[in-house]
Amino acid sequence: MTLVSFDGITVALTEVQDNPAKYARALERAKKVPGHAVCRCLPESPRAPLRLVIRRYGALFHLARWPDDGHRHNAKTCSFYRAVSQPDRSSSDTLAAIRTIAGGLDVKLSTSLSVRTVGQSTRQSSDQTSSGTSRRPAPLLGFLQRVWEDAGLNEWAGAPSRGWGACNAQLLSVLGDGKLNGKSMQDVLHVMRRYDDADSSSVLAEFQSFLDRIVTTPARSNRGLLIAELRSVEPSRYGFVVRLRQTRETFFASKAVIDSAADSFRSAWAMIGDACARVVTLAVIERTKEGNLRIVDCALQLCNSTFLPCDSSFEVAMANRLVAQRRRFVKPMRLERGDAMLPDFRLTDTTVPTAIEVYGMQGNAQYMARKAEKQALYARERTPCVEWVPPDDLASVRLPDGA
Ligand SMILES: [Zn+2]
């Protein structure tokens, strides 16, 4: 458990992440004087305290890694830890859809956030017409996965669990004061807060002010983006009703939007409502003429029970087992060309990093060819690899001992 100090108090980091409203005033004071919080993941070094940035996102505050300081945190226990060698993804590429800028991300999404309602189409592509030098836009899933990776949410340091509060705080520290399609990130993208009865009023007010910015006039529709955990999708008289965790607000969606999501994100779709898994959505929301909230496009990311991204139900089972056994591991994200040969998981608590492959699609020729290619690569590079070939029993898979 990582402890953090600010404004004269020392508390568990998870306590702050789970109750941002309760600590808002203390964090606001510390942001002014001395201008930072302190991480206590290692024995104290009075000359060089492990400072943490205090950032505002929306109405509340959260803690973030001090720039270029990630390697000084406790590698085994602290979520602020980041290896020095960890490469940034295409941050120097000026045409990249997602760029890291001072204070957050600068993102160009393929989905329009402001559309003319005259002659409206629900799946309009880019805001601008393209010219030879325009930035290529990111699809919703690509953006969601990139933020997940930048936030370190695809890494597991051996903790017993992780809830939505930690995810929220880690996502916000990546999004920061960024820009999305030229607009202020904080105005257009809301990451659902963990709902807490004791401190609900400021969390609800903040969410309401985000929803209030989603408006449709006769000429224009201003949309909002929401990252949240999906609770359920149910058919109704007029299309579908979508429910999210941490809020009682309901969202509507047309059959076309739901059919497209079910088809595009099959593994995630199949596990909505399954207690072993979690499904995270990045949803584009607009207001109907009647004032209801409607999802006009969305991406779904399947995760295990502790919000580690997974590509299949088998990977969910494997990730849940690794977490239960308190292993340290990474889920490498396949975001760019050249990432295809990354392992499904990588154990980082073994003497040599160990690849874990879940070969769940026996019979698919393309998949089997990739499998053979990977096995040859591991043999050539002498990378230890653990294989699980369902339907073999997961419990029968032997994992190397962790350090
Ligand atoms: Zn730390």
Stated as kind and residue range, the H or E segment containing 16 is helix 13-18
Calpha distance 243→43 (Å, rounded): 44
Contact indicator for 226, 283 with CB cutoff of 8 Å: yes
Residues 6+ apart with CB under 8 A from 382: none
For ligand 1, the distance from its centroid to the CA atom of residue 101, given in whole angstroms, is 23
Contact 123, 296 (CB under 8 A): yes
Cβ(69)–Cβ(51) below 8 Å: yes
Q: How far is the CA of 159 from the centre of ligand 1 (A)?
A: 14
Nearest to 155 by CA among 332, 399, 37: 332
Please tell me the distance from the alpha carbon of residue 334 to that of residue 267, in angstroms, as a whole number. 16
Would you kindly state where each structural domain of the chain is located, as residue ranges? 3-72, 98-303, 326-396
What is the Å distance from ligand 1's center to 348 Cα? 19
40 C-alpha to center of ligand 1: Å?
6
Token pair in block for residue 400: 């190397």
Other beta carbons within 10 Å of 339: 11
Which CA distances in Å does 307 have to 163, 243, 268, 280? 8, 18, 12, 8
Would you call 38 helix, strand, or coil by DSSP? strand
What is the chain's pLDDT, residue by residue, as a tens digit (403 residues)?
Answer: 899 999 999 999 999 999 999 999 999 999 999 999 999 999 877 778 999 999 999 989 999 999 889 999 998 889 899 887 666 665 557 778 999 888 889 999 999 999 987 655 555 444 444 445 688 899 999 999 999 999 999 999 998 999 999 999 999 999 999 999 999 999 999 999 998 777 788 899 999 999 999 999 999 999 999 999 999 999 998 899 999 999 999 999 999 999 999 999 999 999 999 999 999 999 999 999 999 999 999 999 999 999 999 999 999 999 999 999 999 999 999 888 778 889 999 999 999 999 999 998 777 888 888 889 999 999 999 999 999 999 999 999 999 998 7
Query: What is the whole-number distance in angstroms between the Cα of residue 12 and the centre of ligand 1?
Result: 11
Radius of gyration of the chain (CA): 22
Please tell me the number of Cα atoms within 13 Å of 287 on its side-chain side.
Answer: 15
**Residue 164 CB: number of other CB atoms within 10 A?**
21
Return the DSSP state at 134: P
Which DSSP string corresponds to 77-107?
Answer: T-TT---TT-PPSSTT-TT-SEEEETTEEEE
Give the strand pairing for 189-191 and 224-236.
parallel
SS3 of 105, please? strand
Q: For residue 50, report the distance from its CA to the centre of ligand 1, in Å.
A: 7
| 344 touches 311 (CB < 8 A) | yes
Cα of 329 vs centre of ligand 1, distance in Å, is 18
For ligand 1, the distance from its centroid to the CA atom of residue 14, given in whole angstroms, is 12
Instruction: Give 304 Cα–ligand 1 centroid separation in angstroms.
Output: 25
pTM of the model as a whole = 0.92
Query: How far away, in angstroms, is 11 Cα from ligand 1 center?
Result: 13
